[in-house]
Structure 1
Amino acid sequence: MSIVGGLVDTHRELKIASSTHAAATDWFVRHAWAVAVAGSLAFWVLVAVALYFVL
């Protein structure tokens, strides 16, 4: 009985770990996307300012 209980506990811990990993991956993807968008906007603002001064 204790072997089965240990397996159940291990399974629960693995489920918690995988859901935590999924949440961390989701957080990373959302922030990476936000950083990419912000970087892209900053790039185009710099291009626009440079063109304004050149032209």
Structure 2
Amino acid sequence: MIFPLLLVLTVDVVTHFSDPLETLRVALIAVLFGLLLGLFSIGRRIPQFVVTTSRTEGES
């Protein structure tokens, strides 16, 4: 998952001369957003690999 790394690098370039605590806060938000995007993209692909079986009425 490269989303968090790309977002942190982007934040680092954009906020290079800001307050260090503000940069850290924005970088952490970028990491969480990147993880959210990564998990969302993985979640959309999971049904391709999961096979579900349907139960008939005769089975318990």
Pairwise CA distance, 1:24: 0.3
| CA–CA distance in structure 2, aligned partners of residues 33 and 9 of structure 1 | 37
| Matched positions, count | 36
Q: 5+ unaligned residues in a row in structure 2: which ranges?
A: 1-17, 54-60
Specify which structure has the bigger relative contact order, considering alpha-carbon pairs within 8 angstroms and separated by 6 or more residues. 2
Paired position in structure 2 for 1:8: 22
Once the two structures are superposed, the pairs formed by residues 11-30 of structure 1 within 5 Å of their partners are: 11-30=25-44
Pairwise CA distance, 1:34: 3.2
Once the two structures are superposed, the pairs formed by residues 42-53 of structure 1 within 5 Å of their partners are: none
Considering only CA atoms, is the larger Rg found in Structure 1 or Structure 2? 1
Q: Percent of pairs identical after alignment?
A: 8
Q: 5+ unaligned residues in a row in structure 1: which ranges?
A: 44-55
| CA–CA distance in structure 2, aligned partners of residues 28 and 9 of structure 1 | 28
Pairwise CA distance, 1:8: 0.4
- One-letter amino acid of the structure 2 residue matched with residue 31 of structure 1: R
| CA–CA distance in structure 2, aligned partners of residues 19 and 35 of structure 1 | 25
